[in-house]
Structure 1
Amino acid sequence: MELLKAENLSHSFDISLFKNLNFTVNTKDCIAICGSSGCGKSTLLHILSTLLKPQSGKVFYNNQDLYSLDDNALLEIRRKDFGIIFQMHYLFKGFLTFENIELASVLSEQSINYELLKKLDIADLMNQKITKLSGGQQQRVSIARVLSKKPKIIFADEATGNLDFKNALNVMDILIDYIKENNAALIFVTHDQELAKKCDEVFYLNNHGIC
């Protein structure tokens, strides 16, 4: 089933990044977006996830033109249906690990998946302050926070960049298992070709387009 569709997307800053991109994302799709530094990978992900409005083109989610919706409707979709994982974790530093995850669950009206916490090897860190955790642990907490929302689409921007290769592979497997089990989709920006190979399809952003 179609979840997300990009139609004639174009965007530029000082230079043109991409022109007239068209593609579709279906349920259970795992798509990697790769390309050289500065080619527009993160910009494209931000547009698809409604964090940045495209200069031209449209993005459809469940056949709704996202950028025709008002801010409140977009916020509701982002809060309940979209999960965004950044390379920086953006956790609340004054909170405990559990409180960071619990907040996302409450706002999206979902319950915490404690089995997921074990798979991410953070179950024993629930009562620790975020500032006491290592960078890799913080990143895994941010991934647990997103998955606790039970999103329909996960947008991941170098989500494993702060993890060693073993943990990166584990996280990738967890994300893929999640989308298969929940009829969701994953759009994964990465420079790591080994992780990209685990996806169903790899889009290379190059020469203003996708190949």
Structure 2
Amino acid sequence: MELLRAENLSHSFDYPLFENLNLTLKTQDCIAIEGSSGCGKSTLLHILSSLLQPNKGDVFYKNKNLYHLNENERLKIRRYDFGIIFQTHYLFKGFSALENIELASVLSHQKLDEKILEKLGIDKLLNQKIGKLSGGQQQRVSIARVLCKKPKIIFADEATGNLDFDNAKNVIELLISYVKENEAALFFVTHDHNLAKFCDQIYTLKSNGIC
């Protein structure tokens, strides 16, 4: 089933990033996006996840044009249906790891999934304050926070950047397993081709779209 469709996307800042880009995400799709630094990978992720309106083109989620909806409607989709893993963790420093994860679960009305915490290797860190955790541990907490809200689409922007390869491999395998088991989809932006190879499809972002 089609979840997300992008049609004729074009975007630029001081210089053009991409033009006439088309992309479709279906249930159980795991798509990796590669490309040189500054080519617009993160910008494309922000557009597809409803955070940035493109200069031209349309994005449809379940056949609804995201940028024809009002901000409250888009916020509801981001809260319940989209899970966005940023390069920066955006965790609440004064909260414990568990409180950070529980907050997302409560807001999306989902029950905390303890198996996800175990698979990410953070089940013994839950009572520690975020400020006491390493960068890699914080990254895994942010990933757990997203997965525990049970999104239909996971947008991961260099989600494994702070992890060694073994932990990064564990994370991408967990994300893919979640997608296959929950009829979800993954849009994975990465510079690591070895991780991209775990996905079903790999695209390279260029100025004339993706290939």
Instruction: Give TM-score scaled by structure 1 length.
Output: 0.99
Q: Which amino acid aligns with 2:108?
A: S
SS at match of 1:124: coil
Aligned to 1:74: 74
Is structure 2 residue 167 aligned with structure 1 residue 134? Answer: no
Give every structure 1 segment of 4 or more consecutive aligned residues whose post-TM-superposition deviation is greater than 2 Å: none
Map 1:175-186 to 2 at 5 A. 175-186=175-186
Q: Is the 8 A contact 2:95 2:130 kept in 1?
A: yes
Q: Would you say the 8 A contact 2:104–2:146 is kept in 1?
A: yes
1:14 corresponds to:
14
* Separation of aligned partners in 2, 1:150 and 1:67: 23
Counterparts of 1:115 and 1:196, CA distance in 2: 24
Measured after TM superposition, the shift of residue 207 of structure 1 is 3.1
SS in 2 for 1:174: helix
Partner deviation per Cα, 1:173-208 (whole Å, 9 max, x = no partner): 000000000000000000000011111111100133
Structure 1 match to 2:116: 116
Q: Which residue of 1 aligns with 2:86?
A: 86
Percent of paired sites with the same residue? 71
- Matched with 1:203 is 203
Residue aligned with 1:36, SS: coil
Offset, 1:23: 1.4
The separation in 1 between residues aligned to 2:206 and 2:7, in whole angstroms, is 18
1:49-68 to 2 correspondence within 5 Å?
A: 49-68=49-68
Task: Give 2:99's aligned residue.
Answer: 99
Letter in 2 for 1:191: H
Conservation of the 8 A alpha-carbon contact between 1:6 and 1:60: yes
Distance in 2 (CA, whole Å) between partners of 1:143 and 1:194 is: 20
Q: Distance in 2 between matches of 1:209 and 1:53?
A: 17
Partner Cα distance (1:70, 1:58) in 2 = 15
Aligned to 1:29: 29
Counterpart residue identity of residue 181, structure 1: E
Partners of 1:84 and 1:208 lie apart in 2 by 25
Task: State whether residues 19 and 207 of structure 2, in contact with CA within 8 Å, keep that contact through their aligned partners in structure 1.
Answer: no
User: Is the contact between residue 33 and residue 204 of structure 2 (CA under 8 Å) also seen in structure 1?
Assistant: yes
- Matched ranges for 1:139-154 at <5 A: 139-154=139-154
2:161: which partner in 1?
161
User: TM-score scaled by structure 2?
Assistant: 0.99
In structure 1, C-alpha distance between the alignment counterparts of 2:180 and 2:142, rounded to whole Å: 20
**Offset at 1:60?**
0.3
Instruction: Give the number of aligned pairs.
Output: 211
Query: Which amino acid in structure 1 is aligned with residue 10 of structure 2?
Result: S
Contact 2:22 2:209 in 1 (8 A): no
SS at match of 1:95: coil
Q: Give the unaligned 5+ runs of structure 1.
A: none
User: Aligned with 1:202: secondary structure?
Assistant: strand
Letter in 1 for 2:80: K
Instruction: In structure 2, list runs of 5 or more residues that go unmatched.
Output: none
In structure 1, how many angstroms separate the alpha carbons of the residues matched to 2:20 and 2:208? 9
